[in-house]
Structure 1
Amino acid sequence: MRGFLASSIGVTCAAALALPLTPPAAAATAGAAPSGARSAPVTATARVTSQRAPAEIPGSTQSLPLAPLTRDRALGPAAPEQGLTRDDVRHFSLVGVIWDNPDTVLHGSVQVRTRATGSGAWTGWQDLETHNDDTADPGTAERTSGRVRGSTAPLWVGDSDGVEVRVRAAGERRTDETARGTRTATSAAPLPSGLRLELVDPGEQRLTRAAVPAGAPSATELPALSRAATEAELLALRGSELTTAQRARPYIGPRPRIITRRGWGADEKLREKKFVYTKKVKAAFVHHTASGNGYRCSQADSVIRGIYRYHVKSMGWRDIGYNFLVDKCGNIYEGRAGGVAKPVLGAHTLGFNSNSMGIAVIGSFGSSKPPGAVLRAIARLTAWKLGLYGANPRGKTYLKSAGGNLYRKGKNVRLNVISGHRDGFATECPGWQLYRKLGTARSTAARYQGR
């Protein structure tokens, strides 16, 4: 699909529309994660400095292995510290840490601090979320490709030219019975093998979004539709599946404005060309990207391009994992390619990607409250997309688990139609402050559907 953007759909006079695409040039990636035996370092650190990259570079990933420090090299993989010093890397705006085995959990902490380009000012230490459980289901081609790696969540740091990272294993307390009595010792759990620092430059976005008349499609966005136009879209897309009652009164919210992949500058050469679909969309899982809130809404395109590149080039996925993303100003973005109105299989909720969609709010909401614009965007998006498949946002549904840390494979699980990531997997996502507001999103979405 080099000539057309099949991943977006606009409807005029109830007809589907394919949009032209001119993707940016291919981007280079430095290095790939090495394979090898599992190692057991206790602490890993790295320090990197760089010069700003030329503006014409569309995007890049620098993958830097963590290694024992000079004074600890004699200890080999058991060295208590790892690190590196480099002065020849390009500038970057997003960081993450990856490792060889996606099934290995990093028990410990990962912290980074970065140096701003221009000012030379260093930030304080910032935590990366180590339990990054947005991933493809077990047994799927995406998960068994051999390219998938374990990873932290990415962190948006803005235009930077220096970084330090430290990875520390969590201590484990062990009690042993000896001839002299009970002895308690503390030891560090082994860290995953193949730890690498990923520095992502999302590249420059040169495409300007032009204003379009109401109801008219464009290459960079799908405009909001009226209720009447949305109902016409529903009849065009799924009319043959609707009952007489559904035709008479379709419960669907007006389609919201959606910024397309071309709109946020997706390099379509990065992802796999083919699309994978499920049967329907019965539920929506809400996430946060855990990438921090230190971005302006005008930078959201860059943040998404960084996450996209991190998911594909660093973590080894076929495309960005989420079906949709929402910035803190309430703008909605098309995520994984394949069609915004179609049941595209994502990689967002381990065990429950089939017959669902993933919506990621860009930011971290463990302690920060989500803006009202975010909740309204979630409500508008779910009212429309769930309405295409007859789902009630305030209702319950059953999904069959493909396997995870909360439900065994094959178990039919009763879930809210609008759920949080933590409802399907043991995780803190989407952050408590966002999770506690999902009830508001459910009731608002149902109201948009006319229920």
Structure 2
Amino acid sequence: MRGLLASSIGVTCAAALVLPLTPTAAAAITRPAPTAEAATRPTERSTPGHTESLPLTTLPTTRATPSTPTVPDQGVSRRGVHRFSLVGVVWDDPDTELHGWVRVRTRATATGTWSDWQDIETHNAEHAADPDTAERTSGRVRGSTAPLWVGDSDAVEVRVRVDQAQGPYATPLPTGLRLELVDPGRTAEPLLPTTRPAIQAVAAPHDAPANTMTAETAAASAANTELAPMGVMEIPALTPDQTRHELFTLRGTELTEEQRAKPYIGPRPRIVTRRGWGANESWREKKFVYTKKVKAAFVHHTASGNGYKCSQAPSVIRGIYRYHVLSMGWRDIGYNFIVDKCGNIYEGRAGGVAKPVLGAHTLGFNTHSMGIALLGSHASSKPSGAAVKAVARLTAWKLGLFGANPRGKTYLKSGGGNLYAKGRNVRLNVISGHRDGFATECPGLQLYRKLGTTRTTAAELQGR
């Protein structure tokens, strides 16, 4: 997710983060180790979660700082806070970039020990709604870093510094910098039921206005897999024959005789619904926004770190959802689907897993595409085989619903970005990495290198 122009920002300033503590400050943040009673105390089965928002202030220069910064550092000094598991920084103007770095350290609730300093990905603007869309121009959207998963914590310290390589004319830090500490809460229900019968698909109209859901569409969708009815924890996997039946039911009138005779589509994989990962549906906007079709899939990583267990993935997703909507001001979580390192697939933005839901994942290319994000960071860490296979299964099915060949090319019209001017028709791989549509390091080099394998596997699953 880091913009390519910022990739030269390294660890040369790491020494500046070894900040000495006064005895008074050290005493203020020290607490006893958890007692045996506390360690065994049962936790609440369901808690709503919260976000603590702290304004960043100018930090004093310390002996550890090799030279006086051109622009003073901002941050939050060590302090105890409410429990949280995910952290990010937001600011007022979404069109302003943070040219510099953000580093954070946190104290684990379970052990009382402080983490090492961790970098938070600062270039997050390319994961956004397209320019001139209602979501982008709502007046609620803020600039932001990527979110970072740090695990259950109860104290924090953060420092933000401009890129000193800019010299005496360094770009000031954005205005209104705030530290967002997100507690994703806990859900009372298990992630998934042990068994669940397949849900019969019901055809829904696709010619509704692109920015609303008609009453007829809502009625048809209430009983169908496209909208995952209330209470459903997962959409089950289907066999190839069942998937073809689903295709004919959903899009049969649009298929040619040749497509009906030999439909190229992979079997539908199991998908954990929003209910399954515990989405609070009161946060997002109620209306759904659709594009006309899905011609391409953009693969991302969330840049939120790899230090989560697969059992924690729903919590991480709830944290990202809360950050996207309540901290960044988006209408819903940005990605259409999320995949964890164990290969579990999760429904992202609401509106129906089989529908062409308009996301906010690839600035300039959200129309006629879908965004799939691997939960983690993959600049230097290889994605798991299970996650790569899950992306292949998901794209073989979803692209197959719209007749797209995973090994093929397609044209998308740019909505505006830093690689392609607005209105330009761009030839892209049907399965592309985020960096193919925007100058960014996302989805990370190690994941990007796996896309060739993903395309081949997805095409084979479609029977090509």
So what's the TM-score if we normalise by structure 2? Answer: 0.81
Alignment equivalent of 1:126, drawn from 118, 121, 140: 118
Matches within 5 A, 1:188-267: 188-208=170-190, 209-213=192-196, 215-216=198-199, 219-267=232-280
Which of 441, 445, 462 is residue 432 of structure 1 equivalent to?
A: 445
Query: What residue in structure 1 maps to residue 326 of structure 2?
Result: 313
Selected match of 1:283 from 296, 313, 317 = 296
Contact 1:221 1:259 in 2 (8 A): yes
- How far apart, CA to CA, are the structure 2 residues paired with 1:327 and 1:137? 26
Match of 2:148 in 1: 155
2:68 aligned with 1:68: no
Contact 2:71 2:172 in 1 (8 A): no
Deviation at 1:50, TM superposition (A): 11
2:462 alignment partner in structure 1: 449
> What secondary structure does 1:105 align onto?
coil
The AA in structure 2 aligned to 1:153 is: A
Change (3 A) 1:285 1:167: same
**Contact 2:78-2:157 within 8 A present in 1 as well:** no
Q: Would you say the 8 A contact 1:50–1:162 is kept in 2? A: no
Aligned to 1:90: 82
Identity over aligned pairs, percent: 71
Residue 49 of structure 1 contacts residue 161 of structure 1 at CA under 8 Å; is this kept in 2?
Answer: no
Shift of 1:107: 0.4
- Structure-2 separation of matches of 1:219 and 1:49: 44
- Mark the CA change 1:110 to 1:85 in structure 2 (over 3 Å): closer, same or farther: closer
Separation in 2, partners of 1:291, 1:58: 21
The 8 Å contact of residues 172 and 187 in structure 1, kept in 2 or not, is answered as no
The reply on whether 1:345 has 2:335 as its aligned counterpart is: no
Q: Give, in angstroms, the shift of residue 171 of structure 1.
A: 1.8
Residue 211 of structure 1: how far off its partner (Å) = 1.4
SS of aligned partner of 1:58: coil
Maintained 8 Å contact 1:352/1:400: yes
Give, as a single letter, the amino acid of the residue that structure 1 aligns with 2:100. G
Report the alpha carbon displacement of residue 245 of structure 1 after superposing the two structures with TM.
Answer: 0.7
Secondary structure of 2:86's aligned partner:
strand
> Which residue is 2:49 aligned to?
59
- Residue 103, structure 1, aligned to residue 95, structure 2: yes
The change in CA–CA distance for 1:373 and 1:171 in structure 2 (over 3 A counts) is same
Letter in 2 for 1:222: I
Paired residues of 2:123 and 2:145 also in contact (CA < 8 A) = yes
Q: CA deviation at 1:296?
A: 0.2
Please state how far the C-alpha of 1:84 moved relative to its aligned partner. Answer: 3.9
Q: Identify which of 128, 136, 154 aligns with 1:135.
A: 128
The residue matched to 1:434 in structure 2 has which SS? helix
* Aligned-pair CA distance for 1:187: 4.7
The letter of the residue matching 2:381 is S
3-state SS of 2:306 partner: coil
Stretch moving more, 402-411 or 58-67: 58-67
2:53 is paired with a residue whose SS is: strand
Give ranges in structure 2 of 5+ residues lacking alignment: 1-15, 20-24, 32-37, 63-69, 200-224, 226-230
Find the aligned partners of 1:377 and 1:49 in 2 and give their Cα distance: 43
> CA separation in 2, counterparts of 1:164 and 1:87?
7
More divergent stretch after superposition (317-326 vs 88-97): 88-97
* One-letter amino acid of the counterpart of residue 72, structure 2: P
Report the alpha carbon displacement of residue 235 of structure 1 after superposing the two structures with TM. 0.6
Indicate which of 109, 124, 131 corresponds to 1:117: 109
Aligned to 2:101, the other structure's residue is in SS state: strand
Q: Kindly provide the CA deviation profile for residues 96-122 of structure 1, in whole angstroms up to 9, marking residues without a partner as x.
A: 001111111110011111100031111
Partner residue in 1 for 2:347: 334
**Counterpart of 2:305 in structure 1: which amino acid?**
G
Q: Match for residue 274 of structure 1?
A: 287
CA contact (8 A) 2:296 2:432 kept: yes
